[in-house]
Amino acid sequence: MTKSTAARIAPTRTENRQNKSKSSAAKSPAKPGASRNPLLAAWPGKFGEPPFAKIEAKHFRPALLAAFRAHKAEIEKIAGNAAKPTFANTIMALEKSGALLARVGAVFSNLEATDSTPELQDIARDMSPRFAAHETQILLDPKLFRRIDELYQKRAALKLNDEDLRVLERHHLTFVRAGARLSSSSKSRVKAINARLASLVTQFMQNVLKDEQSWRMVLEVECDFEGLPQSFVDAAKRAAADQGLPGKGIVTLARSSVEGFLTFSSRRDLREQAFKAWIARGAGGGDTDNRRIVSEVVSLRTEYAQAMGFKTFAEFYLEDTMAKTPATVHDLMTAVWSKAVVRAGEERDALAAYAHGEGGNFEIAPWDWRYYAEKVRKAKFDLDEAELRPYLQLDRMIDAAFDCATRLFGVTFREVPKFKGYHPDVRAWEVLSKSGANAGLFVGDYFARSSKRSGAWMSSFRTQHKLGKGQRPVIINVLNFAKGADGEPSLLSFDDARTLFHEFGHGLHGLLSNVTYPSIAGTAVSTDFVELPSQLYEHWLSTPEVLGRYAVHCETGKPMPEELLRRLKAARNFNQGFATVEYTASAMVDMALYAADAASVGDVEKFEADTLKSIGMPREIVMRHRLPHFMHIIGGYAAGYYSYLWSEVMDSDAFAAFEETGDVFDPAIAGKLKEFIYSAGNRRDPHDAYVAFRGRPPKIDGLLKKRGLAA
């Protein structure tokens, strides 16, 4: 996923991707105190990266306040311009404004998510409503909107090129959807709603992090480690040693830790304990309970949508997506859901039979599924996760992701020695174009730690654009893998490796961006299109061309045996009923939440349970993200979690274009993919972009086949 800093309910096209604020090619003027505040001074880094070693928490508040003032002055100059509005003095001027705020805000939001401290969290709680108020003030400025609207009304006569016209239309739509046409009293209410939502979203995210930080399961004695592979034991003991518990092991609520434990631990009692803590995040009572926050967020977003003339927030949000309506989303999810539930029932029966065969006198519970699924996979395909992990070294998988980008798009990666990041684990690579010129910087932050939010995402410190002298991107991937023991490689599960490829697909969407204007650069596209580049990139991991070269044993250095590759391929659709139900249930609850009468969402857990009952949720499976910790839909994917499924229709269909040629790196197809998808940003309507690449709209057949749900 891409990282969202969204705290508002009127999404701009840049809201759902972190740090896509408008930036400028022009140098920011020096600010008072710049020599003492590294955020306000020029950044001397070779690649335009922030001077992390010099930045302290105390620098952010004054830097952000100075950036707000600078941007406000720029906007006032544009809105108050006495000259008739032109594309140059209004739209292009808007695109150039806010450079200082973009760069300071990018550093702050990234660090607050990846290496947070109580001080940074306090600043976030203070600044998030200020960000909302600042943007709302701009979007509801009547003088500024009049200039944009005047240009929009006569756009056909302006003789703009396609990209200029697209940017004008997107700016106009952004202002309209933000409430620019509302009455004065309605605008006042929108400002209040946006400010309140900003505070609620920030608090929600921080509550989830605190719940994850506050829980750990200590593995005390030998029997607590039963069933766990050595690589997991080593990582658990390393985590324990880091927390002053040498000789013991620690399981945390980082997905790589808790899912690994649920997959391998023979201790059913400990699996139950870990699973219940995992799904209870945000719902434990006390200061970090998110249930009332969810209810209020839904109520505020519904109120905004109704002020804009829509019945529900889902209707409002989807109007500016590929899907367009809740009915279209419902049809897609229902088509997949019915097949997935049947397949999940078959999988459950197989797990139960295995458990009973071992003497288990119980029905399969949610904390049993991953454990027995691994057992059944081993029995059916002679394949288990522990056998795969030694072949999936983190460094080798990073190299594999880079090599695919080289073969597809011609870019290469050169690690920056002794890169000074915000944490010792952070690494960076210079990105080089086919000609050898610098094309950007890629930053990788791969390991779980208590100061980092869970999950995986792509974000940016700088976005690409070509205004003035132009700007090369600085893109970051953030993941939460378990770190190997000292001197040992960090080993991944196959799902971990897939996640790495997924986020690097997002990263390439930012790195390969080749547009003029920052507001349409990289991942600044609709949520049901933004997952296409990431999910498509996952396909290359499973190809023999990649695994055969990069999946080598961490001790012997020998490549993964052909027989193991064959078994891995044979098992690729195993447990897809579970995976599809787990995800699709979350998407259906998200859509139900934002399509409901807000008054019916007072009791969030009852709403969740009632919705799941109405769709026939299998009792042995729990939503991938329960509402009290569902960060996607409180942030930028509200009424948009279906996007992964929508994009999967496209990614399956898109990879088929390569398969049809007999070459998964076919140069002609790769060239079209780069031109119309990875480098195009939001230059054109996403449906048109896909058709330009594929020659036709996508077909659902590939998705059903990929998930093993086709008849």
Name the residue with tokens 């069933």: 227
- Residue 658: count other Cβ atoms within 10 Å of its Cβ: 20
- Is 503 a known active-site residue? yes
Scanning 87-161, the segments in alpha helix (DSSP H) are 93-96, 99-114, 118-139, 142-153
- Spatial CA neighbour of 633 closest among 314, 225, 215: 314
Q: Which amino acid is at 377?
A: R
The residues that bridge with 475 in the sheet, in sequence order, are 442, 460
Distance CA 66, CA 75 (A): 14
Question: Exactly one of 503, 538, 608, 620 is catalytic; which is it?
Answer: 503
Name the residue with tokens 């998964």: 664
- CA 603, chain centre distance (Å): 28
Contact 305, 313 (CB under 8 A): yes
The region, left, alpha or beta by phi > 0 then psi within -120 to 50, assigned to residue 468 is left
Distance CA 530, CA 524 (A): 8
Q: CA of 121: how far to CAs of 39, 124, 166, 209, 477, in Å?
A: 18, 5, 37, 11, 21
Distance CA 85, CA 148 (A): 8
Distance CA 169, CA 163 (A): 10
Distance CA 291, CA 285 (A): 9
Q: CA of 110: how far to CAs of 22, 52, 58, in Å?
A: 17, 12, 16
Structure token digits, residue 545: 């061309």
DSSP 286: G
Distance CA 689, CA 367 (A): 43
Q: CA of 368: how far to CAs of 100, 233, 492, in Å?
A: 51, 20, 22
Distance CA 367, CA 359 (A): 17
Hey, CA dihedral for 255, 261, 262, 263, is it positive or negative?
Answer: positive
For 132, residues 6+ apart whose C-beta sits below 8 A from its C-beta are 7, 8, 194, 195, 197, 198
Q: Do you know the residue count of the chain? A: 711
Hey, CA dihedral for 438, 439, 443, 446, is it positive or negative?
Answer: negative
Distance CA 319, CA 328 (A): 11
Structure token digits, residue 44: 């001397």
DSSP 457: E
Contact 523, 17 (CB under 8 A): yes
Structure token digits, residue 20: 């896509």
For 707, residues 6+ apart whose C-beta sits below 8 A from its C-beta are 336, 340, 573, 576, 579, 580
User: Which residues form the catalytic set?
Assistant: 503
